[in-house]
Amino acid sequence: MPQSVLSANRVLELVGQPLGRAELEDQLFRSKAELKEWTEDALTVEVTPDRLDLLSEGGLGLFLQGSLGAKTGAVPIPEPPAALDRPSVIVEAGVATLRPYLAGALLSAPPGVALDAGLYAEAIRFQEVLHATIGLDRRAASLGLYPWERLRPPIRYALEPVDGVRFQPLDGAAEVEGPRFFAEHAMAQKYGRLGRSNGECLTLRDAEDEILSLPPILNSRKAGEIRIGDRTILLESTGTRATRVEEAVGLMLLPFIARGWAPSALRVEYPDHADSGMDWISPRRLPFTASTLRDVAGLSLPDPEVEAWLGRARLAGSKAADGWWVSTPPWRPDLQTSVDLTEEVLDARGLSPEEALLPPSATRGRRLADTRYRRQVRHYLLGLGCVELRTPVLVSARHTDLLGRSSAIRIVNPVSELYACVRDSIQISIVGVLERNVRYAYPQAYSDVGPVVVPDPHDPSGGATRWHAGIALAGERAGFADAAAWTDYLLGAFGAQGVREPAELPGTIPGRAARVRIAGEVVAEVGELAPAVLTDLKVPMPVAWGEVDLTALWPFVRRTESA
């Protein structure tokens, strides 16, 4: 689960009262957070993915204010200065091919206050937490913070030729040209593909043509660096998903609002419409019905008590016909329905240990028989000297096509080419592992026990899940005999013996592959990977592959056990 290291002093400063470790752990028990470690000023906090707001000092401090009863009700969102001009960003049409969505806000410090070292560190740390979580490592959304007082509006978000870009990176000592930045800079190596296409890259510039940043890669030093002492900060987020972009902005407001900074809506002007931006900074109203509370919680609470517990959760509820209208802040995107609000009330009210009733169960105290069977297979393969893998069911379209596995189910509109197919064989996952490990010494031996999905017209979903055990040996002397021996050993370990017959299998050398049957049922496939496959993978050694259909073998294993 997501975690972060926070400043204990900054959290306690917001709480306004001393707090010991035991009491802090007790209060966090009422939330979806857990204290992992407290060393001097360092609080290591872990949360569930829906409570990212608790991974900032501001968010955790506001929660503890309510949990302890020091401050209750909705967190006040300060009003911006009346004389402040409303900022705007012009989004050009070209960005639609890469990162079409933008949202943001202007953050103004309270009178007599400016950005200090503590808030600066909190904001940068929380920004990276959001990049890694809600932003999906910047693929879905990324955030930027800029010194508004050193910019000239309006801001322009565009896609322009890389050759025309020249700026000083945030961590650089001098200006560099775009091609050199993308070729040499570490951040460009990691995130450049997300903001560049066909010789063009995304840019944020102000009216004086100063580059603020190259989204989602890096800010510039001149116009894109916030500093201690700044009093007005521009916050923006770009991305591929509108919801993620807006939620990222709402969460990023939290460290500043907790310290009294005032947000102003950022107006976004698209080629065909304009967005006022008020939704990103304004609280939402959700209906919360008394019937949902009663059905989910199994109890009826007096109206004043419900409103009091909502206040302890830092929410504001006003009475409605069948319940309440609840105001939820922009940093709580997890609150969507009455069920979510019921959970908030119960968490704030506190959960107490109750005497549990254990229902009758045939599996109490032991694992299911087929689970023990698969675990035993893993132990056998480990004993054969194989490195155990845990690979996902979703696999690369390139590897699927390379092996010629036409029966693998394709995903419509996949998030990435790397996860474009559902594997029907562990062979697809194994070739991906072989490709990623070509720099390591040989021989290499791998095993994987996991689910595959095979087409099944009789299943409502169109596919049936089966369990396979796959093995591979890459080395100078690896061959068909190795895979056959491994498979025979695995079958024999369960008292089964199969009949091997020649077969033409996807991705293997003709004449060097076979199927294994028991009572006419195919329970295994073995073979040597074809040279064309190995050449594409850049694997310099022969590879022997074997795969056992554990689902097909299971009935014979059970017969053997009962005999």
Judgement on whether residues 194 and 276 belong to the same structural domain of the protein = yes
What mean pLDDT do residues 457-484 have?
Answer: 91
For 82-102, what is each residue's pLDDT tens digit?
777 788 999 999 999 999 999
Give the domain CATH number at 478: 3.30.930.10
pLDDT at 405: 93
Per DSSP, the three-state class of 468 is strand
Domain membership of residue 429 (yes or no) is yes
What mean pLDDT do residues 449-476 have?
Answer: 91
Q: Say which residue, 528 or 28, is predicted with more confidence.
A: 528
What mean pLDDT do residues 125-147 have?
Answer: 96
**pLDDT higher than threshold 70 for residue 351:** no
pLDDT at 364: 62
**pLDDT higher than threshold 60 for residue 559:** no
Token readout for 287 is 């209906």
Judgement on whether residues 425 and 538 belong to the same structural domain of the protein = yes
Q: How far apart are the C-alpha atoms of 427 and 545, rounded to whole Å?
A: 8
Judgement on whether residues 389 and 504 belong to the same structural domain of the protein = yes
Instruction: Please enumerate in sequence order all residues whose Cβ is within 8 A of that of 252, keeping only pairs 6 or more positions apart, or say none.
Output: 123, 126, 127, 130, 143, 235, 237
Q: Residues 287, 289, 292, 294: is their CA dihedral positive or negative?
A: positive
The percentage of residues in the chain with a pLDDT greater than 70, rounded to a whole number, is 96
Q: What's the pTM?
A: 0.65
**Contact call for residues 238 and 99 (beta carbons, < 8 A):** yes
- The terminus-to-terminus CA distance of the chain in angstroms comes to 46
Judgement on whether residues 446 and 523 belong to the same structural domain of the protein = yes
**Contact call for residues 205 and 219 (beta carbons, < 8 A):** no
Judgement on whether residues 276 and 292 belong to the same structural domain of the protein = no
For 203-219, what is each residue's pLDDT tens digit?
999 999 999 999 999 99
**pLDDT higher than threshold 60 for residue 562:** no
Strands 232-239 and 521-529: unpaired
Judgement on whether residues 262 and 392 belong to the same structural domain of the protein = no
Judgement on whether residues 384 and 525 belong to the same structural domain of the protein = yes
**Domain's final residue, options 223, 253, 281:** 281
pLDDT at 363: 59
Domain membership of residue 77 (yes or no) is no
What mean pLDDT do residues 144-170 have?
Answer: 95
Greatest alpha-carbon span in the chain: 87
Domain membership of residue 72 (yes or no) is no
Q: Which of 162, 249, 157 is nearest to 206 (CA)?
A: 157
Give the domain CATH number at 96: 3.50.40.10
pLDDT at 460: 79
Judgement on whether residues 378 and 432 belong to the same structural domain of the protein = yes
Q: How far apart are the C-alpha atoms of 43 and 493, rounded to whole Å?
A: 50
Domain membership of residue 527 (yes or no) is yes
Q: How far apart are the C-alpha atoms of 358 and 246, rounded to whole Å?
A: 44
pLDDT at 563: 38
Dihedral through CA 178, CA 180, CA 185, CA 187, nearest 10? 30
Exposure class string for 47-77: b at 16+ Cβ within 10 A, else e: beeebbbbbbbbbbbbbbbbbbeebbbbbeb
Q: If you average pLDDT over every residue of the chain, what do you get?
A: 92
What mean pLDDT do residues 266-284 have?
Answer: 91
Binned at pLDDT 50, 70 and 90, residue 362 comes out as low
Token readout for 504 is 């033409």
Judgement on whether residues 263 and 381 belong to the same structural domain of the protein = no
For 415-442, what is each residue's pLDDT tens digit?
888 999 999 999 999 999 999 999 999 9
Give the domain CATH number at 29: 3.30.56.10
Domain membership of residue 499 (yes or no) is yes
**pLDDT higher than threshold 80 for residue 284:** yes
Judgement on whether residues 452 and 480 belong to the same structural domain of the protein = yes
Q: How far apart are the C-alpha atoms of 398 and 404, rounded to whole Å?
A: 10
Domain membership of residue 235 (yes or no) is yes
Binned at pLDDT 50, 70 and 90, residue 561 comes out as very low
Domain membership of residue 496 (yes or no) is yes
**pLDDT higher than threshold 50 for residue 163:** yes
**Domain's final residue, options 21, 36, 67:** 67
Q: How far apart are the C-alpha atoms of 542 and 509, rounded to whole Å?
A: 11
Check residue 544 and report its DSSP letter: E
Q: Say which residue, 223 or 83, is predicted with more confidence.
A: 223
**pLDDT higher than threshold 90 for residue 475:** yes
pLDDT-wise least confident of 78-87, 105-114, 275-284: 78-87
**Contact call for residues 154 and 91 (beta carbons, < 8 A):** no
Residue in the structure block whose two tokens are 């991974």 = 55
For 66-83, what is each residue's pLDDT tens digit?
999 999 999 999 999 877
Residue in the structure block whose two tokens are 């560049």 = 196
Domain membership of residue 330 (yes or no) is yes
pLDDT at 255: 97
Beta bridge partners of 387: 446
pLDDT-wise least confident of 101-115, 198-212, 280-294: 280-294
pLDDT at 277: 85
Q: How far apart are the C-alpha atoms of 386 and 547, rounded to whole Å?
A: 14
For 406-415, what is each residue's pLDDT tens digit?
999 999 888 8
Beta bridge partners of 203: 158
Q: Which of 480, 321, 467 is nearest to 393 (CA)?
A: 467
**pLDDT higher than threshold 60 for residue 520:** yes
Binned at pLDDT 50, 70 and 90, residue 352 comes out as low
Q: How far apart are the C-alpha atoms of 199 and 94, rounded to whole Å?
A: 13
pLDDT at 558: 63
Judgement on whether residues 37 and 93 belong to the same structural domain of the protein = no
Judgement on whether residues 414 and 548 belong to the same structural domain of the protein = yes
Q: How far apart are the C-alpha atoms of 58 and 229, rounded to whole Å?
A: 19
Question: Could you give the number of structural domains in the chain?
Answer: 4
pLDDT at 412: 87
Instruction: Find the domain containing 277 and state its range.
Output: 88-173+185-281
